[in-house]
Structure formats: structure tokens, C-alpha cells
Structure 1
Amino acid sequence: MLKTILTLHIQNLVDLPNDTKEEVINDLIRVEALGVLESYSLDLDSHNTLEIDYQITYKSDKFLSIQYIGSALNKGGAYPLNVFYTTNIDVDKEIKVKLTDLLEIDEAFVQELKNGIYRSYDDNLNLREEGVMRDYWSGIKDQELLNDLKYTDEADGANNSVIFSYLTQDSLGISLSVPHALGDHLEMEIGYEKLSENIKGDNSPWD
């Protein structure tokens, strides 16, 4: 079964001095990693394939950020779907952290996102060429994007645009669902120094 295969690849992802905390967080990661099945409407069927690799993009005593990237093919599908999703964890509290837990999402944030740095996940894919990025953003209304961003990192149907966030050492990354011709997903990164006005509380990853 697809679920079993994926579980075998993600077990014991985090090694912590505290055995109890390690078990709780690894269980949380397993649940989150399997959440892709719902987010991308993938069926648990032996005829479907899902290949996912992961990368820890940020790790500190307080926070952990994980990217999952790969491809999925449902039986009868015309082509594989490029898959990207994430898990952000507050290690102290042993809970999942969503974008709205860390930042106030407003019009200024939308503009920072549109002006962010594009990160291609494939050497053969470059949306900067021939004005593709410009044309994409010109077709996105700010208010619609603002509304969609408020559901970032949700694992249920509320996250209609399949938007996820991740952390790096110096930037916040946002992944958005795009048409297959553009790669199925698009990643933009914003330097932390540009987010100071949007930070919620004092317990942020970039303190």
C-alpha cells in the first residue's frame, strides 16, 4: 500500500536528546507527511505511485522545517504530478506551526511575496525566462492571493490553492500551486529582514 511505503521512508526523521519529545515529534512528522494523500486527492491504491524525498531546510533548538518534494501518478493519469508540501514544527511545544501562527498576512506581505526570490526546483525549469513570471503574477489578483494565503499549511480542503510555507536560515519560503505547464508548484523566498512588521509575538524562528 502507498501509505505503508511512505511511512517507511519518513520514520525516525528527527534525533533529539529527549526520547519522549523525539517520539512525539516523529509521530507528528509521520502524520503530516501522509497528509499529502488528502491535499493532492491521492487514492490509497497499489496502482498509484508516489515518490517523495525530504529535506530539512531549517533546524534549531526551537523550530524545525521540512520540505517534501517528489511526484505522484494516479492510475490512468496523463502525466505525473509534481508534488511539494512542508511541515513546520515548534520543537518546544511539540506542535505544527502554520504561516498565520508566525506572521500577520496582509497586503504588504502579498507584495513582498510577489517581489520575492524565485527558487526553481528543477534545473530545466526557469520561470524567469520570457516574462513567464511577470505574466503569472499579472493574472493573480492581490485580494484573492491574500485570502488564499490565510489557509497556508492547512491540511484539509480549506487550502484550495495548495499553499505551503517553509523556513531557511535567512528566508521564509512560500510554495504555491500553479498549472502543470509551469511545473505544478512555484516557490518564492522572502528575506526575514523584510518581514519585521508582520512578525507575531516574540517566539519566532528568526529571533
Structure 2
Amino acid sequence: MKQILVAFALAIILAGCQSQQTAPVQHTDDVDNKPPQQAADEENAEPFEVDTTSYQNGKLTIHYPQLVNMQNEELEQRINNRIKEDAILFLNQYQDGDAPLKMDYEVILPESDTFSVQYTGNYNGGMYPTHLLFTTNIDFKKGEKIRLPDLFVIDEPFIETLKKAKYIDWENPPDPNKEKQDAIIEYLNTFNNQDLIKAFHKADHPDPNENPYGIFSYFLNHTVVISIQVPHALGDHAEFEVNTRDWVRK
């Protein structure tokens, strides 16, 4: 079924298994009550639809979104290439294993000119199943990929703010496990801040050789969710939600 999305209105999460979804521009009845630049940006935003495309390499499969029906075909192609490149690059790191892997996606559309694609899947190629998560963030006005270090100053205050941020327990979001949260912070504290600063400068790259700590981000309204790889006993990855005002923008 085709879902109607409203760009720049609400943070909407779209299930990647749907065949096609639509994201038209918000109605602008209240333009007069908005700052001129914001109103102009919203009026100039392009509606788009989302199709699901799949890439398969042996037992590995990843479903990823592709934008369609944009008026600016060059921009559409640029965005789609960015999404496709990340999806294939992440999946192919598992091509030498014998275990199957299927990655699905969600599109996260906040009140901004960006959107995030969050991928998740389970891989059974090791001693135990591993839950995987990675993301791609796109500026859909420029058609460029956005990485965390492009937007924020990565320094010691950045790291300390992260450690104090709201913890999101992906295994039980309504009731986060406090003991697990404490153990995750204790785990992060085994790294000195300088190592974490270097790690966050490599965030949001799908290649583990470039992003060995497995750090990814996605954007909500006025907040950023940070995902960082942790040991299997702690959930495989841990998420923290930070208000963008708590970090210094570049």
C-alpha cells in the first residue's frame, strides 16, 4: 500500500518492506507564521516516492530504498547512488562467510532537509547470532551523504555529553535495562576519550575497516541517535539519543 508522508512535518518511520511510499511536501497554510527562510525551504521541498530495491550476493541480501518521481532527476540519481553504494559496501563485508544474512530498512524522515535510512538484520555466522545496525544519512536538497563529523565538533565535551545522554535499549525500548546501560557506559569508559574522538571522526562509514568501532547515527526532530558497536552480551550495539543543542555545530 502507498503511504502518504508529510516532509518537514513529523518524524515518520517507513517500513522497508513496503513496495512504494510517497513523501509529498507539507501543506503550507501556516507559512505566514514561520520564519521566511523556513517557509521558503518548505515551499521548495520536492515530493518523492520510495521504492524498495534489493541487492543479492550469494546468501546475502539487502533491501534498500530508491527515490522515484522527483522532478530533479539528476538529484534523484545522485541520492540513489549514495544509498546504493553504502548498502552494497556494508553487505559485502560478509561475502566470505557461509551464513545467510538479510538486511531490511526503515526510512526516518524528521523535520529537516535530511532523511536517514536505518538497516537492521541478524547474522548467524559466528559463535552466536549478531544483530547488525547501520545507517545512511542524506541531505535530499543537495543529494549528499551526511556524516556526524561533518556537522559537529568531535572533542572531549562531545564524548562526555554522549555518555550522559538518554540510553535507548533496542531490545526493550519502553523499559530500558538499567544494569545493561551501566555496563555499556563502563565498557565505553575502557577507552580513553582520545581514542573515542578518533573513532567518532570515522563514524557513519559502512566499511568496518574505515569505521572499526561500528559508529552510526540517524536524525530525529532536534535530536541525533548514536549507535555504537558493543560486545554481544551488551546487545551487539547500543544507542544514545542526544539533543543537537548539546553539541557544538561546525
What TM-score do the two structures reach when normalised by structure 1? 0.80
Aligned match of 2:87 in 33, 42, 63?
A: 33
1:125-152, Cα deviation, whole Å (9 max, x unpaired):
9442264244324323222211211111
Per the alignment, residue 249 of structure 2 pairs with 199
- Which of 154, 167, 171 is 1:118 aligned to? 167
Query: Is 2:137 the counterpart of 1:83?
Result: no
Letter in 1 for 2:249: I
Partner of 2:157: 108
Separation (CA, whole Å) in 1 of partners of 2:113 and 2:198: 29
Any stretches of 5+ residues in structure 1 without a counterpart?
Answer: 201-207
- What CA distance in whole angstroms lies between the structure 1 residues aligned with 2:235 and 2:68? 30
Structure 1 partner of 2:147: 98
Same amino acid, percent of matched pairs: 32
Deviation of residue 15 (structure 1)? 5.7
CA distance in 2, matches of 1:162, 1:186: 10
Cα 1:14–1:80 shift into 2, 3 Å? farther
Alignment TM-score, normalising by the size of structure 2: 0.67
Residue type of the partner of 1:69? T
Q: Which has the larger radius of gyration?
A: 2
Which structure 2 segments of 5+ residues have no match? 1-54
Check the 8 A contact 2:75/2:142 in 1, yes or no: no
Checking the alignment, whether the CA contact within 8 Å between 2:111 and 2:221 is kept in structure 1 is no
- The answer to which structure, 1 or 2, has the higher relative contact order (CA under 8 A, 6+ apart) is 1
Count of residues in Structure 1 that have an aligned counterpart in Structure 2: 192
1:173 counterpart (198, 207, 225)? 225
Measure, in 2, the Cα distance between the counterparts of 1:122 and 1:138: 22
Secondary structure of the residue that 1:12 maps to in structure 2?
Answer: strand
| 2:118 corresponding residue in structure 1 | 67
Counterpart contact for 2:184–2:238, Cα < 8 Å: no
